[in-house]
Amino acid sequence: MDTTRRLDNVYYSILEKVSILQSTIGSLRDLSNQTKELGESFDSDANQVKNEIQEQINTFGGFEKQNQRIESLEYRIKQSKERTDSLTQRLDAARGRVGALESQEAEVQATITC
């Protein structure tokens, strides 16, 4: 009788552990399926975002218009700088001539008043 009771306890214990194992396996299977679906969903969403960004870049013409405008402005700035440098040189030369004329005039004035 005692042996039968022990066997029954072992049997029910084994059944309980098998039930827990089956439940764990089912949960792992569900988790695996959800992970797979999540991965597929992520890939789909990532591709959709990639396509939207590519469309926006294509809409801008690959930024070609903006690039051309920037290059045009850089060219104009370079030309303006060159012109400014040229005018600065001419102004310095004119100042030199004015300074020389003032010196000559001061000498003439000095000789006249002496």
**Rounded-to-integer distance, Cα 42 and Cα 93, Å:** 71
The amino acid present at 102, given as its one-letter code, is E
44-100: pLDDT as tens digits: 999 999 999 988 878 877 677 888 899 999 999 999 999 999 999 999 999 999 999
Look at residue 64 in the predicted model and tell me its pLDDT. Answer: 79
Q: What is the pTM of this model?
A: 0.45
Q: Give the CA dihedral 63, 66, 70, 71, nearest 10 degrees.
A: 60
| Cα dist from 50 to 40, 41, 56, 57, 58, whole Å | 15, 14, 10, 11, 12
Token pair of 30, please? 């569900």
Look at residue 79 in the predicted model and tell me its pLDDT. Answer: 96
- Which range among 16-20, 61-65, 68-72, 104-108 shows the weakest confidence by mean pLDDT? 61-65
CB 60 within 8 A of CB 68: no
Look at residue 10 in the predicted model and tell me its pLDDT. Answer: 94
Mean pLDDT, range 10-36, rounded to an integer: 95
CB 66 within 8 A of CB 60: yes
- Which range among 26-30, 68-72, 95-99, 108-112 shows the weakest confidence by mean pLDDT? 108-112
Look at residue 80 in the predicted model and tell me its pLDDT. Answer: 95
